[in-house]
Amino acid sequence: MRADARSGGWYHRAVVYLLFLILLLPLAGTLLYSLATSWSASLLPSGLTFKWYIALWSEPRFLAVFGQSLLVCVGALLLSVVLILPLLFVVHYHFPRLDALMNILILLPFAVPPVVSSVGLLQLYGSGPMAMVGTPWILIGCYFTIALPFMYRAITNNLQAINLRDLMDAAQLLGANTWQAALLVVLPNLRKGLMVALLLSFSFLFGEFVFANLLVGTRYETLQVYLNNMRNSSGHFNSALVISYFAFVLVLTWVANRLNKDKT
């Protein structure tokens, strides 16, 4: 039995390392490629250089799209917070039965892929009184629907953990009105959970391509669309772009994980 357990231990370590290697391989390859002077038909590149990163980070078009991506994502998250926080508060405090309906509604962004929504969005808002196609505004609105299911679930878990009703009752007993109780007592208690939800939402909104490409394209280029449009430029340059993007997302998810751990 003992010997069996030990050989089992080796097996599990090997599987975990293998899993890690599989997930690492494309990233490591891209990283190496982005640092290579040239690399063809040999196990390792012929020399290492930072010139691709320098070229990338001094490219005005790249810096512009990076800023535009940030702007769209931050805008979408602001909109989400402004819309979802009151919604959650009202649902959980006043109309708990609506939660069941909301749980069905937030399945919609899963069941309807962006490519399907785009068909309707292009026709509805391509022209006429609500023409938004080609502007960042339509992206902000669409990204709100992408972030919704995730933010709703994450903040709901948080609200349940802090015991919303007791907290509100206690605040009101001490003389606060509903607004004061919600803004000054409940909100600060949600701060950490909200930060984690926002950081993680940001990391996947930053990688969104379908809406950005179909609805807006080059008229307000985001990072993913730019990357796709650069397909014919140097592979090394593109690798530097991919690695820079991934490093940025990595830092965000890392911070979110740290915050999440502190919470418990």
Which of positions 230-259 make contact with another protein (CB under 8 A)? 231, 235, 238-239, 242, 245-246, 249-250, 253-254, 257
Q: If binding is defined by CB under 8 A, does position 203 make contact with another protein?
A: yes
Spatial CA neighbour of 237 closest among 64, 23, 41, 61 = 61
Q: Write down the least CB distance from residue 209 to another protein, Å.
A: 4
Q: Which of 113, 162, 174, 263 binds another protein (CB under 8 A)?
A: 113
Candidates 65, 72, 77, 142; binder of another protein (CB under 8 A) is 142
Closest CA relative to residue 154, chosen from 113, 115, 204, 118: 204
**Contacting residue, 124, 131, 161, 174, with another protein by CB under 8 A:** 124
Q: Does 170 bind another protein (CB under 8 A)?
A: no
Contact predicate 245/53, CB 8 Å = no
DSSP 130: T
Q: Which is nearer to another protein, 189 or 253 (CB)?
A: 253
Could you tell me the end-to-end alpha-carbon distance of the chain, in angstroms, rounded to an integer?
37
Q: Is 3 a residue that touches another protein (CB under 8 A)? A: no
Sign of the alpha-carbon torsion through 200, 203, 205, 209: negative
Q: Is 7 in the site for another protein (CB under 8 A)?
A: no
* Among residues 70, 227, 255, 259, the one that binds another protein under rule CB under 8 A: 227
Residue located via tokens 């003389």:
175
DSSP 151-199: HHHHHHHHHHHHTHHHHHHHHHHTT--HHHIIIIIIHHHHHHHHHHHHH
Interface pick for another protein out of 55, 71, 210, 259 (rule CB under 8 A): 210
Taking every pair of Cα atoms in the chain, the longest distance, rounded to a whole number of angstroms, is 75
Q: Does 164 bind another protein (CB under 8 A)?
A: no
Choosing from 115, 162, 174, 183, the residue that interacts with another protein (CB under 8 A) is 115
Of the two residues 109 and 193, which places its CB atom closer to another protein in the complex? 109
Closest distance of CB 188 from another protein, Å: 19
Binding positions for another protein, 16-75, rule CB under 8 A: 16, 19-20, 22-27, 29-30, 33, 39-43
For the chain, the C-alpha Rg in angstroms (whole number) is 23
Shortest distance (Å) from residue 107 CB to another protein: 6
How many helices, marked H, and strands, marked E, lie in the chain? 13, 0
Q: Which residue is associated with the tokens 């911070």?
A: 255
**How many residues line the site for another protein (CB under 8 A)?**
89
Query: Residue 209 interacts with another protein (CB under 8 A)?
Result: yes
CA-based torsion, 91, 97, 101, 104: positive or negative: positive
User: x/- binding map, residues 68-87, to another protein, per CB under 8 A?
Assistant: -----------x--xxx-xx
Shortest spacing between CB 112 and another protein, in angstroms: 6
Q: Give, for 153, the enclosing helix (H) or strand (E).
A: helix 136-162
SS3 assignment, position 11: helix
